[in-house]
Amino acid sequence: MAKIAITDYFDTPSAEEREILGDLVSVGPGPDTEVLLVWHDKIDASYVKDLPKLRGVQRYGVGFDNLDVDYLKSKGITCCNNPDYGVDEVSDTAMAFIMTISRGVFRYDAIARKLTDTWQENILPQIKRANQTKVGVIGAGRIGTSVLLKCQALGFQTVFFDPYKESGHEKVVRAKRVHSLDELLAEADIVSIHCPLSKATSGMVNQDFISAMKDGAALVNTARGGLVADLEVLHDNLKSGKLSFVYLDVIPQEPPADNMLIEAWRAQPDWLQGRLIINPHTSYFSQSSILDLRRGAASNALRLFNGEKPLNVL
């Protein structure tokens, strides 16, 4: 039986995991398992009841909403995530979304497909220069901070909201800091979300959230799908023009269930073309990041197994 067990997603330990963990690691937990390596599986009381020797749970990724951290901690089980592996990949995806929104690239492509008699006069009148466009970042951790710095390098104005970030972070990143979500939503032309999914943030993007945004503002989410309460709210506000663009790497249910937004996204009516982009939760991936993910998780799992001080304890 595996001392360190991969719970799901991967069919076999990688060469990187074998190099770090040797024969300690295999797929599938058993009664001798002491550390879990977790992708999607929900790790709660029912999962661990038959794992009497379990001492640690290591997430492969950044999010940990599939771990019942409070329960696991109450049983003396240490929980860790893996927040470092995909900072550039996720922030670069957010930047690609932000730049595409800023210049109207996909919307122009949709418009141009139907043009026969006119051409360059078919402009989007709301387009502004980067230095006149304010990007608002919710959550200034590793990825959010990376987005702030990359936006600044391209000349965007930047503002962020993060009630958990230490005082003075605004000076480090040279961005404006606001102390309420409504302040940020009232200022930002493009809102980019980079906070974890928790009891406090679950469903925070709702009608009240969107109503507090500027008319014609855009929304980017590369964080967690569960931050959005209802995809139909996004549909209604895109159709009314309250939201100019919505670009998502994550959605509440993956793969998506049918609803008004998903049906419109698949059908691509004229009013929506180029304004809604949905990627299949892939912003984390590059050839390098997936190796870093498996190395980082394996290295920390070994710390947990050896009784050493682990990194990124939740």
User: Per the domain annotation, does 205 fall within a domain?
Assistant: yes
Domain count, the chain: 2
pLDDT band at 212 (very low <50, low <70, confident <90, very high): very high
Mean pLDDT score across all residues of the chain: 97
User: Per the domain annotation, does 314 fall within a domain?
Assistant: no
Q: So what's the pLDDT on residue 186?
A: 98
Q: Which of 169, 281, 295, 303 is catalytic?
A: 281
Q: Are residues 132 and 51 in the same domain?
A: no
Q: Are residues 60 and 96 in the same domain?
A: no
Q: So what's the pLDDT on residue 227?
A: 98
Give mean pLDDT, residues 54-59: 98
User: Per the domain annotation, does 55 fall within a domain?
Assistant: yes
Q: Are residues 77 and 92 in the same domain?
A: no
pLDDT band at 301 (very low <50, low <70, confident <90, very high): very high
Range of the domain at 231: 87-274
Q: Are residues 152 and 183 in the same domain?
A: yes
Q: Are residues 230 and 155 in the same domain?
A: yes
Q: So what's the pLDDT on residue 10?
A: 94
Q: So what's the pLDDT on residue 143?
A: 97
| Chain segment 172-188, per-residue pLDDT in tens | 999 999 999 999 999 99
User: Per the domain annotation, does 135 fall within a domain?
Assistant: yes
Q: Are residues 235 and 95 in the same domain?
A: yes
Q: Are residues 137 and 71 in the same domain?
A: no
Q: Are residues 75 and 154 in the same domain?
A: no
Give mean pLDDT, residues 89-104: 98
Q: Are residues 259 and 293 in the same domain?
A: no
Q: Residue 109: give its domain's CATH number.
A: 3.40.50.720
Q: Provide the whole-model pTM.
A: 0.92
Give mean pLDDT, residues 35-52: 97
Q: So what's the pLDDT on residue 16?
A: 94
pLDDT of 1 above 80: no
Q: Are residues 261 and 208 in the same domain?
A: yes
pLDDT of 297 above 80: yes
Q: So what's the pLDDT on residue 101?
A: 98
pLDDT of 302 above 90: yes
| Chain segment 260-289, per-residue pLDDT in tens | 999 999 999 999 999 999 999 999 999 999
Q: Are residues 261 and 297 in the same domain?
A: no
Q: So what's the pLDDT on residue 19?
A: 97
Q: Which of 254, 263, 266, 308 is catalytic?
A: 254
| Chain segment 116-140, per-residue pLDDT in tens | 999 999 999 999 999 999 999 999 9
Q: So what's the pLDDT on residue 213?
A: 98
Q: Which of 224, 235, 275, 294 is catalytic?
A: 224
Could you tell me which residue, 235 or 63, shows the higher pLDDT? 235
Q: Are residues 112 and 215 in the same domain?
A: yes
Phi/psi of residue 212, each to 5°?
-80, -10
* 34 in catalytic set: no
* 254 in catalytic set: yes
**Reduced 3-state DSSP string for the chain:** CCCEEECCCCCCCCHHHHHHHHHHEEECCCCCCCEEEECCCCECHHHHCCCCCCCEEEECCCCCCCECHHHHHHCCCEEECCCCCCHHHHHHHHHHHHHHHHHCHHHHHHHHCCCCCCCCCCCCCCCCCHHHCEEEEECCCHHHHHHHHHHHHCCCEEEEECCCCCCCHHHHHCCEECCCHHHHHHHCCEEEECCCCCCCCCCCECHHHHHHCCCCEEEEECCCHHHECCHHHHHHHHHHCCEEEEEECCCCCCCCCCCHHHHHHHHCCCCCCCCEEECCCCCCCCHHHHHHHHHHHHHHHHHHHHCCCCCCEC
